[in-house]
Amino acid sequence: MVHIGAATQRELHADLATLPARARAERLRQLALLGLSYLRGGPPKAQAHLEAPTPADRLAPRRERLLQALGDEP
């Protein structure tokens, strides 16, 4: 059993008080894992957002080949 004082941890206590017992236990587990992760290696690194290439980017190599082929003709 974990006791979280309403006087010392107001925000956490208020957030957890709205949850049923099983959800409250799961939330505490998640928060504990985040805390341990932070203590062991700092905050997680942001991952670069990979964007899909635009249609023009996907067609660029083909376009180049076609232009080269057209330029090679007399």
How far apart CA 22 and CA 26 sit, in angstroms, is 6
CA angle, 46 then 49 then 51, to 5°? 175
> What mean pLDDT do residues 40-61 have?
67
How far apart, in whole angstroms, are the C-alpha atoms of residue 62 and residue 69?
11
Q: Which domain holds residue 35?
A: 10-41
**Is the pLDDT confidence value at 73 over 70?**
no
Domain count, the chain: 1
For residue 5, is it within any domain?
no
Name the one residue in this structure whose structure tokens are 């082929």. Answer: 69
**Does 73 fall in a domain?**
no
Tens digit of pLDDT for each residue in 5-42? 778 788 888 888 898 989 999 988 988 888 888 888 87
pLDDT reported for residue 48: 57
pLDDT band for position 74 (cuts 50, 70, 90): very low
Sign of CA dihedral 30, 33, 38, 43: negative
Give the pLDDT confidence score for residue 54 in this predicted structure.
66
Q: Examine residue 53 and state whether it is found in any structural domain, yes or no.
A: no
Query: Would you state the pLDDT for residue 43?
Result: 63
Q: Are 66 and 73 in contact (CB under 8 A)?
A: no
Q: Is residue 57, in this structure, part of any structural domain at all?
A: no
Residue 19 lies in a domain: yes
The reply to whether 49 falls in a domain is: no
Instruction: Classify residue 47: in a domain, yes or no.
Output: no
**Structural domain contains residue 35:** yes
